[in-house]
Chain A
């Protein structure tokens, strides 16, 4: 149906518009009395020291990379899963070999201690 994605598009527009309308309405009817103390960064009453853009652990980056590899490869599995009912046994086994390669990759990452939180 050609209307499917039109419907999704309309849904996305309304999905943004209604929450945005609520925020705009709140902005219109709420009081606006800013002062420097109120607008300062919230740190439980402490003065902010240094930059607020802190350096983050490299571990987050490694987990991001591992995620990226797995996410891309799991997307490849969706077409295989959809057509599984019509595939011959050989093609199913091929898919399983593909998953086993993924598992081998996971084992390699595990052995390299990339999954440890250091």
Chain B
């Protein structure tokens, strides 16, 4: 078999031959090969994570009209590695009165909840850890571990600020999980499968962002909220709760929270690309080889990450009551309406051509968006009149 046509399989076969040649049993050799693959995969993700620190700092600098790190090495590329060394040799301060086991487990689970997502990401048809037939449920389940790590960190830190930050963050994360799950149902409906590879494969002709732009938007908004990034970074309201749930963490434990957040953003950018922007499909370019396809997926993940950064550095933090009201009174009903319309159209137009279905899906989304915007305009008009009208008699009374 040609190496460039299927690099993972060829390498695995070679390793299997090597291990069985050393006298190992078939099962042990297979497990060892898989273990090596996993270690390589996770190491690559962690190296990407280090580079994400550099990307984040460079991009935020450009957004704020600064230069960013530019002293350590070319373009400041050595800077994130210096940061890592600094985190390693910093003293780990464990405050008195913390719950030691939970306190130390929280940062590990925080980055763990992101790393395990890369087990199901299809980088190419032949470069995928495992194509679970319940891939999207696995994504939701891994997200729940991230929520767990935050409440663990806040609860065990023995600090009021940490606890309050964790409460806010968890309230936001669990609320925004509902529109996210409903938005995940839409690619499931369109592709007829929950497997990530099946969803990628089904988008060969038409990316789902054209079929359901509203679902892509809902997924992006709820992903930003799940990440706890601005405008939804309530847990890190500096003037209110200092640093939120990770206030008592220092050194490498803080480093994992930070790294986990960046990798989480990158990973959700990747899922956005896979679920709505065609995965490894890019105008036939993926046929050049699996490594090109993997580069396409990572490129789309970077684009998604850039969009999330763009949102973060443009918008300001919103209040928690606004945030929860936006979710429960706007995103949840909207996502349920989009799901119902998509399911109905998908069934009614089952026998028509792809183009008829695509155009009608797109138009239905435009129609929903237009109705929603009209309702919001009406609401804001009545709210504005309510605020402005009582001002009138007050002005007259002063004369």
Contacts and interface: CB of A to CB of B under 8 A. Distances in A.
Q: Which of B39, B136, B178, B344 has the most CB of A within 10 A?
A: B178
B301 interface: no
A41 to B, nearest CB: 5
A34 B346 CA distance: 63
B211 to A, nearest CB: 14
Interface residues of B, number: 81
Interface string B326-369: 00110011001001100110111010000000000000000000
Contact of A85 (B158, B178, B346): B346
Given A42-B247, A99-B336, A52 B38 contact: no
B193 interface: yes
Contact of A23 (B38, B107, B129, B192): B107
Interface string B113-146: 0011001000000000111100011100000000
Interface in B12-56: 30-31, 34-35, 38-39, 42-43, 46
Given A29-B88, A81-B343, A89-B348, A42 B178 contact: no
B160 interface: yes
B156 to A, nearest CB: 11
Nearest to B104: A23
B34 A25 contact: no
Given A11-B116, A19-B112, A117-B320, A41 B344 contact: no
A95 B340 CA distance: 9
B7 interface: no
A105 B329 CA distance: 13
B340 A96 contact: yes
B331 to A, nearest CB: 11
B188 A92 contact: no
A81 B338 CA distance: 13
A114 to B, nearest CB: 9
Contacts of B72: none
Given A14-B38, A15-B42, A39-B96, A54 B344 contact: no
A56 to B, nearest CB: 5
A38 B93 contact: yes
The 10 closest A-B pairs by CB, nearest first: A117-B321, A26-B252, A81-B188, A85-B192, A15-B115, A67-B174, A11-B119, A39-B96, A92-B347, A74-B181
